[in-house]
Structure 1
């Protein structure tokens, strides 16, 4: 039997932070990095391949193989038309991809939820397609600019044969990526795939969080606070490794006061200092708190449930009236809640290299997650027996999976749903039908 404070759950919770900073996630939320990297890569590749062309021509001239040089000039002239066509055609392709993206974004925002637009922004295939298209366009321009009017094999300095072949290969890669991009975009325009992507992102966050401590550890009285000094916005994530280092050097324990996803304004206390009266210096806390205009999946445990709830509510609105989509969202909400039903929830404890707790970070409790998943959908589902039946089945399934001490929020939602249906539905037979558990809603 494990001693108190040394259980496997506690050991997993009090883990050292991953050294990877939130920079990778922030770059994934931008659309400029991949295309810029593609342009830089195209320029470097063009310089390297053109230098190879120069080296080949120079060696052939030194060996007196002027006939070979003349043959290369003929091949390059034949491919010049292709390179010129590629330069103009890639702009058209880029315009088509951009137009498809705008249509997909507009449909996703209008039909699903504005929160799911970030799935398109974070799409790797979309960014890769843009990057390769722009890289091919720039590469074609640089190769076209390397052509010389001189065709004398004794004096010509550059014959872009290998460069032209490389340009053709990049065009073939662009065509393949374009097919993959269209397929990926069409999938993201289907609600089932959007819901599946949100669920998979939620499980990645859950795996990244590890296991929280079942109860809050005893911390000494807070001796100081660190207030936020940046612009107002949503707390997206914190640089855990940097905060742990700052707390270790100061010999204190830091506690994150707001939760990930909270809106913070300048002057808001963001860190409480325990075990000391002096906070770490500001230079040690620079770039440790990231605030943006919207929530992200990186460290936000409840963001997936928030998106699924938004999609379900929009589907149940009078303008859309799509209860089947709401049932699909409930399926995934049950999947996520079932995964956390037996996990300790409360506070994450991040340790330094010696195993001492240096950062305490609150995560949503079980009741918070249940309310987030069911409360707003329950309020909109009263007039749709398909959704109320699925909701009853969901609450029953979770009650079987959850420990006894976690069944109270589920029973509360079940009681509130029954009361709402009784107030709204007049006929007893209709009430019984609406409250009969069914995992498919209505068949």
Structure 2
């Protein structure tokens, strides 16, 4: 069941990132609603009572005029909305980086707004086609026309919401808050909470834990396509390794780029890795054309770092935005410090080594982010002061084995900043 579930999960994630899926669903729903209300008007049959009075008062020509006006205005507003959205995407790409486009594409607010206008347009077209006003026969779907007028008022309210939403969504504070929320969800999704007692440090390195003849008696499993590793089903690798008595080493961690036929895993021993087993191991990897933040913690942090680097570029020179980024980095890293980082080894129930993956420590993630920001903002005193403050807090929260590495980088940045200050004095 893992294969179909993984496939469905990938398709659903792709649909959420597309700008057409939700508006299309809303447009189809509008078509169904129009047909249902027209049928309801038809079932009234004799047009007696309130329906008959409304039909006489409204008339076929008035109904056509109302529906035509609503449909024409909706398609015009939809075009303006689409143009404003494309302008926002262009602005976000140039100012915050092309990696931010995914967030704007996944914004359900923009999708619902566009879907509302298109739905109203489609609804009015279907209802308009049902209005008849000949000499011998006339039919005005009063309920459907009335509901179309309600949709027009709702679309007007949606337009007001869109103007507010589009102005709010491009504020740096809003963007960073959303990135921090996504990064926090990634941490919660991929790493378990830290136990009361931290796990002991491994006595052997990951390479030393492998069988002595691993390199000479193993088979490399290649990728059938190229792309970035978006997720790895470690439970699937463990299951396959247990079923066939294998030791599997992951060669391509999440976030890495793999060319076609590039090595995904190496399995030991060679004679137990048939083509069918190799396919099972390869199916545990999800590849895509881009890195995604769903299971990639490093990429989640990198998106915040990229905004800080762009803000510190000579073309923008906006250290305040970079300081905001440091605050959000400190928030995410504070949550990450309370999580149990993998040792890189997965055992079976008999405590036999089955899966090996290169571990990433808290210090590796933190120092990579801090060093990338400091490289561009080392000459700004306010930024350096905030950076050192955030690093000190992260060091206090970090596991014991990671504190020294963070503080070494802290001292290096501090000395560089002092040296630049003396040089410019």
Q: TM-score, normalised by structure 1?
A: 0.79
Distance 1:205 1:392 in 2: 25
SS for the counterpart of 1:407 is helix
Kindly provide the CA deviation profile for residues 394-415 of structure 1, in whole angstroms up to 9, marking residues without a partner as x.
Answer: 1211222223211122112112
Residues 129 and 332 (structure 1 numbering): CA distance in 2 closer, same or farther, change over 3 Å? same
* Cα offset, 1:297, TM superposition: 1.6
The reply on whether 1:424 has 2:420 as its aligned counterpart is yes
More relative contact order in 1 or in 2 (CA 8 Å, sep 6+)?
1
Query: Is 1:163 equivalent to 2:144 in the alignment?
Result: yes
Cα deviation code 1:202-241 (max 9, x no counterpart): 01111111328956996775854431112x3322235678
* Aligned counterpart for 1:405 among listed residues 393, 401, 407: 401
Q: Measure, in 2, the Cα distance between the counterparts of 1:212 and 1:334.
A: 18
- The reply on whether 1:83 has 2:79 as its aligned counterpart is no
Q: Deviations over 1:342-395 (max 9, x none)?
A: 32212688999xx99987766632132113311111111221001111111112
Match of 1:98 in 2: 82
State the distance in 2 between where 1:36 and 1:172 align: 21
Match of 1:203 in 2: 184
**2:306 pairs with 1:322:** no
Relative to structure 1, is the Cα distance of residues 125 and 34 closer, same or farther in structure 2, using a 3 angstrom cutoff?
same
- For 1:38-437, what aligned pairs fall within 5 Å after superposition? 38-57=26-45, 60=46, 65=48, 69=52, 71-72=54-55, 74-75=57-58, 77=60, 78-150=62-134, 152=136, 155-156=137-138, 158-211=139-192, 223-230=218-225, 232-238=226-232, 256-273=250-267, 276-278=272-274, 280=276, 289-346=285-342, 364-426=360-422
SS at 2:132 equivalent: coil
The more displaced of 284-293 and 382-391 is 284-293
Distance 1:205 1:271 in 2: 24
1:22 and 1:237 in contact (8 A); partners too:
no
Contact 1:125–1:180 (CA under 8 A) maintained in structure 2: no
SS in 2 for 1:234: strand
Distance 1:159 1:348 in 2: 70
List runs of 5+ in structure 1 lacking aligned partners. 1-17, 431-443
How many residues align structurally?
403
Matched, 1:36 2:24: yes
Cα drift, residue 72 of structure 1: 2.4
Q: Aligned in 2, Cα 1:311/1:68: closer, same or farther, shift over 3 Å?
A: closer
Cα pair distance change 1:348/1:116, threshold 3 Å: farther
Distance (whole Å) between structure 2 residues aligned to residue 349 and residue 381 of structure 1: 38
Q: Decide whether aligned partners of structure 1 residues 378 and 71 sit closer, same or farther in structure 2, where only a CA change above 3 A counts.
A: closer
SS at 1:321's partner residue? coil
